[in-house]
Amino acid sequence: MGTESAAIEPTGAPRRAEIWIANAPVSFGAFEITVGVDPNVPDPVTLLDAVASAGYVGIDLGPAGYLGTGDVLDSRLSERGLALAGGYLELPFSEPDRLESALGELDVLLDVFDNAGSDDRPPKPTLADAGSPERAALPGRAALDPSVGLDDAGWERFAAGLETAVARCRDRGYEPTFHHHTATYVEAQWEIERLLEVSDVGLCLDTGHLLLGRGEPVSAIRAWADRINQVHLKDARVAVLEEIVAEAAPVVEIWRRRAFCPLGEGDIPIGDVLDAIAEVGYAGWLVVEQDVLPDPSDPDRPAAEQRRNREYLRAHGL
């Protein structure tokens, strides 16, 4: 596995926090709604070559099986000096009947980790809520209209379901993280705060999705520092996000309209975010994500943008 990592010196503190920089298949258009559906999803070997050559030391899994399985996945990662940073999985936490059968998908994810994970930089099961068709149709709405969120009984079911999934991860030797996500039942800042109240799971802070949930990344990092155990770093264009919310456009429009952009080209103060991460002494995986849909008219663009994102971080000491 690769050995390059970044260490940043928190302002006014003597300790150094080790941060490992990863990328994700979603930055190349490969994720749950495209893999196996869109013929323009890139070849996984080409994607891994692009990530490694850009200088990343880790990769998120993407949909289980996309990057390979078993020895094939392990070889592909080892040959390129890449470690697994995590694997994203949506589960219907507030729906007990659906959750019971869906937990098999979590076992599949953890099996992949067993075969291809790194002991010194272990991957994190990245849990997210599965949402609903109603929430998927209204991205960004919960911050403006809490009535679209779970009621108290729904949160009780959610907490119980999440506890079951977290325990399964820990029983297998993996510490999970929870990813707040647009158009799910943990999207708005108030929903993230409720999640933190009803569980002890760590938080995967995603700067782009937090923006759509009307949160502010720098203050969130400081407020939730003791719960953040994974970071997904995105930049985003506020005008595009606001347009989608105002139109009540479906969640796919976020990717179709390229609301997420290269680091430093959007409206998130990425430099301030990195300073805040250093200030609180965060250590662990930092996964660069720039969610896009595959674009056959410009297939080389994702690799070029992810090289640019890695150079951006190097220029900021990472």
- Which DSSP string do the residues of 135-174 spell out, in sequence order? HHTSTT-TTT-GGGS--HHHHHHHHHHHHHHHHHHHHTT-
3-class state of residue 107 by DSSP:
helix
Domain locations in the chain as residue ranges: 6-315
3-class state of residue 307 by DSSP:
helix
**pLDDT, tens digit, 9 for 90 and up, residues 192-208:** 999 999 999 999 999 99
Q: What confidence tier does 117 reach under pLDDT thresholds 50, 70, 90?
A: confident
3-class state of residue 131 by DSSP:
coil
- Residue 118 confidence (pLDDT): 78
- The two three-digit tokens of residue 90, written as one number: 């949506």
Mean pLDDT across 145-170? 97
pLDDT beyond 90 at 173: yes
Under 8 Å between Cβ of 206 and 289: yes
Compute the distance between CA of residue 54 and CA of residue 2 in angstroms, rounded to an integer: 13
Per the CATH hierarchy, to which homologous superfamily does domain 6-315 belong? Divalent-metal-dependent TIM barrel enzymes (3.20.20.150)
Q: Which helix (H) or strand (E) holds 8?
A: strand 6-8
Q: How many CB atoms lie within 10 A of CB 142?
A: 26
Q: What confidence tier does 95 reach under pLDDT thresholds 50, 70, 90?
A: very high
Compute the distance between CA of residue 174 and CA of residue 231 in angstroms, rounded to an integer: 17
Mean pLDDT across 83-99? 97
**pLDDT, tens digit, 9 for 90 and up, residues 272-284:** 999 999 999 999 9
Cα-flanking dihedrals φ and ψ of residue 235, to 5°? -110, 155
In this structure, what DSSP letter does residue 187 have? -
- The two three-digit tokens of residue 138, written as one number: 């209204």
Q: Which of 14, 22, 56, 62 is nearest to 42 (CA)?
A: 62
Q: Which helix (H) or strand (E) holds 20?
A: strand 17-23
Q: What confidence tier does 4 reach under pLDDT thresholds 50, 70, 90?
A: very low
Compute the distance between CA of residue 227 and CA of residue 81 in angstroms, rounded to an integer: 29
Greatest Cα-to-Cα distance within the chain, rounded to the nearest angstrom: 51
Between helices 301-315 and 44-53, what is the axis angle to 10°? 30
- Residue 7 confidence (pLDDT): 44
- Token pair 């979590």 is found at 106
Mean pLDDT across 123-146? 93
Alpha helices for the chain (secondary structure H): 44-53, 70-79, 96-116, 133-136, 152-171, 189-198, 207-212, 217-223, 238-247, 252-256, 270-279, 301-315
**Is 5 exposed, middle or buried (CB count within 10 Å of its CB: 0-12, 13-18, 19+)?**
middle
Mean pLDDT across 106-118? 92
Q: Which of 105, 130, 199 is nearest to 160 (CA)?
A: 199
- Residue 6 confidence (pLDDT): 53
Compute the distance between CA of residue 23 and CA of residue 182 in angstroms, rounded to an integer: 20
In this structure, what DSSP letter does residue 60 have? E
Q: How many CB atoms lie within 10 A of CB 163?
A: 15
Distance from chain centroid for Cα 268: 16
Under 8 Å between Cβ of 288 and 24: yes
Q: What confidence tier does 12 reach under pLDDT thresholds 50, 70, 90?
A: very low
pLDDT beyond 90 at 119: no
pLDDT beyond 60 at 15: no
pTM exceeds 0.75 for this model: yes
- The two three-digit tokens of residue 240, written as one number: 């595009």
